[in-house]
Structure 1
Amino acid sequence: MKPVVEVLQRHATPSPFSRGEETVMDPTYRHGTEFKADELTFSLQEDMKFKYEKFVRHVQDELQTSMFIGKIVSLKLYKLAVYGEGGHFDWHRDSTHSDAHHGMVLIALNTKWEGGELMLRHQGIETIVNIHPKKSGDEIRPVVVAFSTDTEHKVMPVTKGTRLVLQYDVKVVEQSPAADGMHSPSYIPLKRAVHRHQHIAVSHINIYPNLDQKLVQAVVDKIRELHKKGTFVVAFPLTHLYRKASIKKEYLKGTDLALFDALKNHFNVALHPVLIRAIEDRNVWGY
């Protein structure tokens, strides 16, 4: 379905952003409008409503298979971002909305636009993602982009048309997999990991970065070497950023979780918060 862009443009409100502890408006840094989730309703017939709900469940399953192995996640619509010609958003990290908020999903709607590329950056490595819906025969298929909340991202200037993107919060649900009706009691994280490897190998899913088991073993070997030399306390930063209340094993993501699981089989492992003050351009972030 094609959204009526003109109507959305008339009613959308300018998008602010956080700068330190302030919420500010600065069109040189972010130029766009938006609708929060409570300002939106979906007028869908029963068959389309069922398809939409099925689609959301499918995305949740993919996230549990590719990003949050061994966890149950929920997807909640946060807002609709509207970027017309000249719209853009410089490098930023989105604010987290709860301790369980660990990821976000972006889905572009079926409109025509040029420019407005989505750029992602983590640990200094950048990548560009094409989020235009893809045509498959007579069907239009959305591109689902998912990443952790601590990933920096940027929207390049839109040069033509209007870019409409649904933004969802990905939350880790605090319950055992067996208690969820979507999974059987035989649910085992290791089986999920094996399924993930097989699924990604045959599906159109791009995962970045991928985990190298040799690097994990190298970390284990290095710690053992330090222990032999008399260094008994070894500390290093996690790959991702977390809220203080979220520095728990059940909330670890990606390589952080893999390292924790690998190290706990050999050492006494503990997690501790560390305050890092980072200054980038006009933004000041404290973690």
Structure 2
Amino acid sequence: MVDASKMEFGASWDQYVQQIAVKAATELGLDAATLGIRARLYKLVLYEEGGRSALHRGTEKSMGMFGTLVVHLPAQYEGGALKVHHKGQTKLIDLSQSSEECFGYSAFFAECEHELQPVTSGHRLTLLYNLIRTTYGPAPAPTNSSVKDALLEAAEYWERDRISWIPECPQKLFIPLEHKCTEADLSFLGLTGRDRAMADVLRSIGRDGSQLLE
């Protein structure tokens, strides 16, 4: 394992990786141009025969980080498939067949649990990049209109009671975050996972006339 601070690549390689990052983010369903997607090198990892990684979830290492990009460098190996788990679904990513001759990549969101199956022969060589959004971008509309309608109705009732100063009605609502944030990261740009999804929905509703976020 080699930290990014001990590596240096030319401008052409960085340009190539940024193109991969945009493509990967688009495949994940994001508007890469609007969000200003960038890939930031984290480390180089070499797995020899028998090497594996236990099931774990990555941590947000930079503000705006939303995922991980794994760039596979040409090196012959067998085994070493990546298993990504999210909400009861599992995807197996195996790039070993053409590993000796070709570059490859895989990408997943930060909240996904993942594990690396044992390398059975050869050497698996990868560069890990943090996928980062440099702008927050517009809040996407909720995919379920019935959820949006229900939240809008609830917001209207709450606003009516709040303005009327009904004793039982709270003047502010607080939704605790799942992920810990430093004071510097406490912004829309710094939110990840379910925290970001919740903020996106509330911001989208707010655009319809209800001021839900301050």
Residue 36 in 1 paired to residue 3 in 2?
yes
Deviation at 1:226, TM superposition (A): 4.2
Q: Aligned to 2:189, what secondary structure does the other structure show?
A: helix
Shift in alpha-carbon separation, 1:133–1:243, aligned structure 2, 3 A: farther
Deviation at 1:51, TM superposition (A): 4.0
Shift in alpha-carbon separation, 1:108–1:85, aligned structure 2, 3 A: same
Q: Aligned ranges for residues 139-178 of structure 1 at < 5 Å?
A: 140-173=101-134
Deviation at 1:89, TM superposition (A): 0.8
Number of aligned residue pairs: 195
**Separation in 1 of the partners of 2:91 and 2:175?**
26
- Equivalent of residue 148 in structure 2, options 193, 217, 220: 220
**Separation in 1 of the partners of 2:156 and 2:22?**
44
Q: Aligned to 1:249, what secondary structure does the other structure show?
A: coil
Aligned to 1:124: 88
1:37 counterpart letter in structure 2: A
- Equivalent of residue 93 in structure 1, options 33, 50, 57: 57
Shift in alpha-carbon separation, 1:130–1:36, aligned structure 2, 3 A: same
1:263 counterpart letter in structure 2: I
Q: Aligned to 1:74, what secondary structure does the other structure show?
A: strand
Residue 67 in 1 paired to residue 5 in 2?
no
1:92 counterpart letter in structure 2: H
> Normalising by the residue count of structure 1, what TM-score does the alignment of the two structures yield?
0.54
> Normalising by the residue count of structure 2, what TM-score does the alignment of the two structures yield?
0.69
**Separation in 1 of the partners of 2:37 and 2:92?**
26
- Equivalent of residue 213 in structure 2, options 270, 275, 281: 270
CA distances 1:111-161 after superposition (whole Å, capped 9, x unpaired): 1212111111223322112344859xxxx5533222222221111111121
Q: Structure 1: any 5+ residue segments left out of the alignment?
A: 1-33, 43-48, 177-187, 194-210, 272-287
CA distances 1:70-120 after superposition (whole Å, capped 9, x unpaired): 222332211111111111111112233233333221011111212111111
Q: Aligned ranges for residues 1-287 of structure 1 at < 5 Å?
A: 34-42=1-9, 49=10, 51-62=12-23, 65=26, 66-67=29-30, 69=32, 70-132=34-96, 134=98, 140-173=101-134, 213=143, 215=144, 217-226=145-154, 241=179, 243=181, 245=183, 246-252=185-191, 256=197, 258-266=200-208, 267-270=210-213
1:268 counterpart letter in structure 2: Q
